[in-house]
A = this chain, B = another copy of it.
Amino acid sequence: MIKNEISTAVVRRLPRYYRYLGELMESGIERISSNELSKKMNVTASQIRQDLNNFGGFGQQGYGYNVEFLYLEIGKILGVDKKHNMIIIGSGNLGQAIANYANFERRGFVVTGMFDKNPALVGRTVRNIKIKPMEELKEYIVKHNIDIAALTIPKLEAVHVAEELVKYGIKAIWNFAHTDLNLPKHIVVENVHLSESLMRLSYNLTRAEKQNIQ
């Protein structure tokens, strides 16, 4: 169904399409035109047509898009139609927030294990998951077919732990530590650098303040 390689820019936009299509489905809407979707999503209709054309033949002139079909196809492309086991390393507030977020599970990301080096946290239970000590990490990954590790630990530990995770067979790291992980190319790394996000906010706020003064 996919024509060729999809550009990174389109890939970045796909989850947003997926979210909007999911909401349309929940509201019982079966078909939508690129113009209507354009108004909802605040992007141009031509952008929408261009983006969705990447997947070939979804839209029918004059009939609009079949919402459920498009939702399912984009889901397949994103790989959220499959189940992926995930562990969380670092069970502080951020790790617990991720574990508690039920929506991830709906999308096929099942948190099966949580780890921490802090003895005060080990043994506690978050959403029926008992926090384990770091010493059990290797055996757990090997035994339980874990694809993804969310890394919610300080940056000084993150680099070393990430290297260990790769040795144990982890395929993808969701990195919340404020550092870049330099891992082998076949390992997928998705970064969430919160302080960089806050600096972008700050940049835009500073610019807005300057414009108000002028």
Chain A residues in the interface with B (C-beta under 8 A)? 11-12, 14-16, 18-19, 41-42, 77-80, 82, 84, 92-94, 96-98, 100-101, 103-104, 107-109, 147-148, 171-172, 174, 178, 180, 182, 186, 188, 190, 192-206, 208-209, 212
Q: Which residues of B contact A82 (CB under 8 A)?
A: 206
Q: Which residues of B contact A92 (CB under 8 A)?
A: 97, 100
Known A-B contacts A82-B206, A93-B96, A107-B195; the reply to A174 vs B201 at CB < 8 A is: yes
- CB of B14 within 8 A of CB of A199, answer yes
Q: For residue A200, which residue of chain B has the nearest CB?
A: B190
- CB of A15 within 8 A of CB of B208, answer no
- CB of B94 within 8 A of CB of A196, answer no
Q: Which residues of B contact A196 (CB under 8 A)?
A: 15-16, 19
CB distance from A186 to the nearest CB of B (A): 6
Q: Which residues of B contact A94 (CB under 8 A)?
A: 93-94, 97
